[in-house]
Amino acid sequence: MTNDNVATDGGLSPEAQRVLEEIDERYVDFLRLQFTDILGTVKNVSVPADQAEKAFTEGIYFDGSSIEGFVRIQESDMRLMPDPTTFAVLPWRESEDAASARLICDVYDTSTGEPFEGDPRQVLKRALDRAHEMGYTVNAAPEPEFFLFEEDDDGRATTTPSDHGGYFDLAPKDLASDVRRDIIYGLEEMGFEIEASHHEVAEGQHEIDFKYDDGLTTADNIATFRSAV
């Protein structure tokens, strides 16, 4: 199995080594290793930060048969290999003396040692490689939208929109400008360049736009956006 996290001399790659240094500097005590299933649902397993080097060199095993669209129980063992360029501390899980961070992972088939063909991130990488061979550079600029709903007296979500605003409305129709602001602050701390945010057409519907990037980075950013929101 080719491992980009290991240098030619057998040590960690410079990118992986920088992650270990930042883990120490930011007092990170837990890492969330994230990936997506074929439905686009973000999955994760949390490991203590002292397992970071092992994760980079050996990967973290998991049961792929329990993930929608992956493999059968007879072929269940799979491996997560974190991409060090995706390291980010989670702003909502950081304090003065402790923090959690995330790494987006590629999924590997333990029977072959090769990237798992059903991993959505690998599917995208192959498509981008083919586009590159044809002379194309793929960039993407999504406009993610989401809905906010009221909670009941027990703190459970309802189906009642959080406001009655419409497209580009201001307060008092738009009641979520502060919520969007807090989301933007968190995304910016994770490296996003936010370009705009506004109330959308429907009641309780909102949009936050971030700068375009290459296809893989944008896909990773969408997964991050969904986790943050």
pLDDT score at 74: 44
pLDDT in tens, 112-146: 889 998 899 999 999 999 999 999 999 999 999 99
pLDDT in tens, 62-120: 887 778 666 654 456 889 999 999 999 999 999 989 999 999 999 998 888 899 988 99
- The 8-class DSSP code of residue 12 comes to B
Q: Which domains does the chain have, with CATH numbers?
A: 14-133 (3.10.20.70), 142-211 (no CATH)
Q: What is the mean pLDDT of residues 193-210?
A: 98
Q: Cα separation of 21 and 194, whole Å?
A: 27
Q: Cα separation of 191 and 136, whole Å?
A: 26
Mean pLDDT is lowest, of 3-17, 115-129, 192-206, for 3-17
In which band, very low, low, confident or very high, does the pLDDT at 5 lie, cut at 50, 70 and 90?
Answer: confident
Sign of the C-alpha dihedral, residues 44, 14, 78, 121? positive
Q: What is the mean pLDDT of residues 200-211?
A: 98
pLDDT in tens, 12-37: 899 999 999 999 999 999 999 999 99
pTM of this structure:
0.90
Q: Cα separation of 65 and 110, whole Å?
A: 13
Best CA proximity match to 102, nearest among 224, 214, 210: 224
Joined together, the tokens standing for residue 19 give 């992650």
